[in-house]
Every structure is written in structure tokens, then in C-alpha cells.
Chain A
């Protein structure tokens, strides 16, 4: 038999990106801030396209379902915001609310001890903080090209900014839309803040936020992220963090929503004795895909990074965890810990994980571990033998599995929000997925 050369079928043109580039041409003059970084980002996208699975960091997450769509400019009606706000958790306190990537003062309550402004109102004039690397991170280039608004949050030296909710709502219920909010957070020396960032919405949309975070010496940010986008949504978010000496970035990302979601965090430990915690839980059902990708760069001595990432998967859901830890030559006495645990509740669920350690210093302590398992039938029977129904018994064991990840969230009000979100997820999506699986 004559050998026919194998060909990979040509990838269909990226309709989504083409439409975004056209939109940029039309929108360019009306966008806030200098043109140069946006033009540069557009150029990168025109030349390189956006990531495909051929690129290593995107090996497990194929953006093809996003590419096939054309996303329109969001023109939310005022009424949408008031309705969408019901998707946010019921927590009291100051809040900055964005609908379709634009600040909504009428839905917000400004924090008393924190300076806030918006990207549209002048935050953009200082340009884009260049923690972002648009050539490598092309979804960030997309955000840079099209960002209209975002929160600019600044906590002054020595101030405890308390609690702040950052709500990002997207209205895809009328037509398929995209939003690209661009937030910036700065905590000055010794400042602290508890930020609860929530992403939610209705219908089909792309939510592509970028957050740049700068922590000065001794600053302490607790950043809890709740991704509960609509079931049809695409969520592609990127966080950049830079910590100075003795600063702490303590984050927890809980992903429950979206048909395809990726949370990418790049954290750099730039000063001695800084600490970074990138904990996460991804709880998925149906055919959802959730990707948690992190890059921790140790650039200073005596720093610590900690990660516990838990995935709970039902139905045909798939989760990805890519955790890269880079330890520079100067970063002696680095203490790195990474734990990745997955609980697969159905035979068709799948976890792809890729830990990567790149260590150039010689005196470091870095450990990582991974476990994948199903629910223990002995534990399940023990609970049922005490009168607890099978579905509730499974929920108890799932919650137990998540316990040590959630314990990292020390702010009680925020932890209650997360626990409630998981409970709600289980009672709706989880049980439905279970019913289908059994």
C-alpha cells in the first residue's frame, strides 16, 4: 500500500479573533489611554493569532470552541445590571461592580479606606502596567487591545483596607458578547486588603479579565476568586502579581462555572521573605473544562510558595492543572510546596496535570505531590449505614475532600460564601450530573 503522508487538517480561520481585530479598528479612537500598547497588542495578535494546543502551555486546553463564535459588543441595558446583580453572593460591605466590563457606580458602594478609580476615567492614561507579557500571553494582548474599563484600587501605606467585593457581571442573554475588564491593584507598604472577586453572568459570552497586582513591602492581600459564570460562558482570566519583601499574596480560586474556563496566575516573589499561596478548587460536571495554570517565580531568597489544588469532577468534565515553579539562582532557601488532588466521581471524568519545577538555586526545599481517586466505597457505606442518603453521603465526602483547601481561606465571611457556592452547585449541577451518570 502506498504511503500517503499524514496531514493535520488545517485549522479553520479564527472567526472570533478576526471579529475582535475588526472591532478594534472601529473602536480605536474611542478607547481610553495611549494607543501604542493597544496597537502593539493588535499587531501581536495579527501576526501570531491566539494560542493553539501546539503551544505547550495550551496543550490541554483547546480554544477552538471559542474561535468558532463571533462575539458582539456588549450594550447592556440598565435593567440588566440590576437583574444580574442577583448572581453575586449575598455579602455585606463595599463593592465595585462591573457589568460587561464597564463600571456601574449605581450598583457599587465605595470602600471607606481604599482609594478607587476606574481605568476609563484616567487609570488608562498611566498606560498598562507592564507586568503583562502580551507576546507570550495573547489573551492578555486581546484584553490590552479592547479593554474599556476596570477597577483601579490603591491601599495607602499602613492602611488595612478591610473587605472589598469586585463583581464582574456579563450579559450574554440577548446576544453573544465579550468583555475585557482591566483591573489594577496596588497595596503600599504594610497595607492589607481582603478582595473577593466574583465572575458571573447569563447566556453565552466571553469574559476575559486581566488583573495586575503590585504588593509593596510587608503588604498582605487576600484574594479570593469565585468563578461562577453561566453554563454557556467562556472564562479566560489572567492575574499578574509582584510581591516585594515580606509581602504576602494569599489567593484561593474556586471555579464552578463556564463551559470552558482558564484561570492563569503569574506570581513573582521579588523580595526576600515574601509568600505566595495559590490555592484552588475546580468543581465541574457535564462537559465542562476548567484549567488552572500557574507560574510562580522565585526571584529572591527566603521566600515561600504554597499550593493546594483540588479538582472534583463528575460526568465527562475535565480539569487541567499546570503548576510551574521557577527558582532563580539568587532565590536560596526557597520553600516551595505544591499538592494536586483530584476526585473523579465518574469514569468519564478526566484530570490532566503537569507540575514543572525549574530550579537554579542549590539550597532550596521544593516538594510536590499528586493524587487521583474516586470516592471510597467503604466511607460511603459507613455514612449510608447511619441513615444518610447516598447523594448526601457523597456530598459529605466531597466536602471533606475540599476541607483542607478551604481551610486556607481564613476570612470567615468569605469562606461561608465559598461553601455556600459549592453547596448550591452540588444541589443543582452536581446532582443533575450524578443522575445522568448513574
Chain B
């Protein structure tokens, strides 16, 4: 269960998040849509603990823990995962090694047994296959020379291996071809269940045809301006944000 209450955050004294309220119960998938620059990625970064943001008000609890007081690695071990909008390249770091180090670091923190190279490769190869990726990707350096779509798939591979309780997917659908979109959606749907929830940031209704969300939220001007069921995404697709953002401005 993720509970965000009145979250306000600034970068260099500029307010980007301006009182976010959002609750994602276990097992639910929520979509967040909103115009460019609305603060969607900022929200995902603040939740995962990136430096450079100042939280000036509000609170975030994750399965009862004060998320904002935790280090990024502690949040990961608690079950939070962020699929980056712009995955980072790590030259000189092998993809398989990176993933195994991450998985074992999380296991260690939780007091679970670590996987040896053989056990890990078996697991990773299985997930690679499900995502229709080439096994070669495991041998290459993390994201180095990957195409845009390959980087996104690599994020989903990490999610599949690390098995988070809450996955934030920040525009994971952008840059994916039609087949890949389907495969990635299948990957997310495969995780679905009472122990898995997700916050899917997207600009396109299309992904939500494959991963049908429980709730859809509109984030603009640093706040959740509207929430609704899956039909809200269709409405936005048809009408855009202009009316919504305007309405709120009038209301304010």
C-alpha cells in the first residue's frame, strides 16, 4: 500500500509537486497521465529517493514505513521499483552482473538467501525469453548501445527479476514498437496479483488497452486534478488536457 499525502517538493526553490494526494492499495494498477512538465517524473524520482529534491510538505508511507526517511537502496529492498523514463548507461558494468548484484543486495537486506551465478542465470534467462529479448543483452554493458526500445525492455527485465511490490513505470511504453508494447504489457500483467501494485505513467491510451488500470489520475501543475476509472483515459485521448487544466484554473 502506497499512501501519498499532500506531497510538496521543490527543485532549487521552484515548486514542482504542489500537494499530491494518491493512494495505491495492494494489487491495484493506477495510471498517471498529464501534460509534459507536469511533474510526473519528479514524483517518481521523489518516491524512489533521488537527490536534488526538497520535500517541503506532506508524507509518503509504503506498507506502513516512512518512505521519505529511507535511502534509495532501502526503498528498493522494501519493494519499490522505478522503471526510468531515461534508463542510465553503465559502461564497464555487465548487465547480468549488475542484475545479480542488485538481486542479491536486496535478498541480503531482507535476510533471504543469495543466488549463485548458475541459479541467477537460469532465472534471468527465463525472464529474457519471456520478454523476447536476445540473451546477448545479458552479456552487454548495462544499456550501452541499446536502442530506445531495448532500454525500456531492459527496465522491464529488471522489474521481472527483482519482483517489486510496487513498480513505477515512467513512460515505459514510449519508444516501444507495437509487438514490444504487447510483450511489455504481458510482462506487467504477469506480475499482477494481490502482492503487486503499479503506478504507470503514460501519455497514451494504447498501453492502457493492454494493462487495464483500476484507476486513472490526471497530474498537472504539480497536483492530481482528476481521478476516475479506465474510461477517463479514453476521455483524455479524445479531449486532451486543455479543458481540465483550464477548469481547475477557474476553480482555483
* A residues at B contact (CB < 8 Å): 377-379, 381-390, 392-393, 396-397, 399-404
Partner among B49, B81, B92, B101 whose Cβ is within 8 Å of the Cβ of A388: B101
Contacts of A382 in B (CB 8 A): 84, 87-88, 90
A387 and B106 contact, CB distance less than 8 A: yes
* Count class of interface residues, chain B: 20 to 34
A392 and B51 contact, CB distance less than 8 A: no
Q: Assuming A381-B50, A381-B72, A400-B93, is B88 touching A387 (CB within 8 A)?
A: no
Q: Assuming A378-B88, A404-B92, is B105 touching A385 (CB within 8 A)?
A: no
A-B contact count (CB 8 A): 73
Write the B143-166 contact mask toward A (1 if CB under 8 angstroms, else 0): 000000000000000100010000
B93 and A381 contact, CB distance less than 8 A: no
Residue of A379, A385, A387, A396 ringed by the most chain B CB atoms within 10 A: A387
Closest to A399 in B: B92
* B residues at A contact (CB < 8 Å): 48-51, 71-73, 75-77, 81-82, 84, 87-88, 90-93, 98-99, 101-103, 105-106, 109, 158, 162
B76 and A384 contact, CB distance less than 8 A: yes
Q: Assuming A385-B82, A392-B101, A392-B105, is B92 touching A400 (CB within 8 A)?
A: yes
CA distance A305 to B163 in the complex (A): 49
12 A-B residue pairs with CB within 8 Å: A381-B88, A382-B84, A383-B102, A384-B73, A385-B72, A385-B76, A386-B76, A386-B102, A387-B105, A387-B106, A388-B102, A390-B71
B73 and A389 contact, CB distance less than 8 A: yes
A377 and B88 contact, CB distance less than 8 A: no
Q: Is the interface of B mostly helix, strand, loop or mixed?
A: helix
Closest to B72 in A: A384
**Measured between C-beta atoms, what is the minimum distance from B199 to chain A in Å?**
15
Contacts of B101 in A (CB 8 A): 388, 392, 396
A386 and B92 contact, CB distance less than 8 A: no
Contacts of B88 in A (CB 8 A): 378-379, 381-382
A385-B49, A401-B92 are known; give 9 further A-B pairs, CB within 8 A.
A379-B90, A381-B72, A382-B88, A382-B90, A383-B102, A384-B73, A386-B99, A388-B73, A397-B90
CA distance A87 to B61 in the complex (A): 50
Closest to A376 in B: B88
Partner among A381, A388, A402 whose Cβ is within 8 Å of the Cβ of B105: A388
**Measured between C-beta atoms, what is the minimum distance from B178 to chain A in Å?**
28
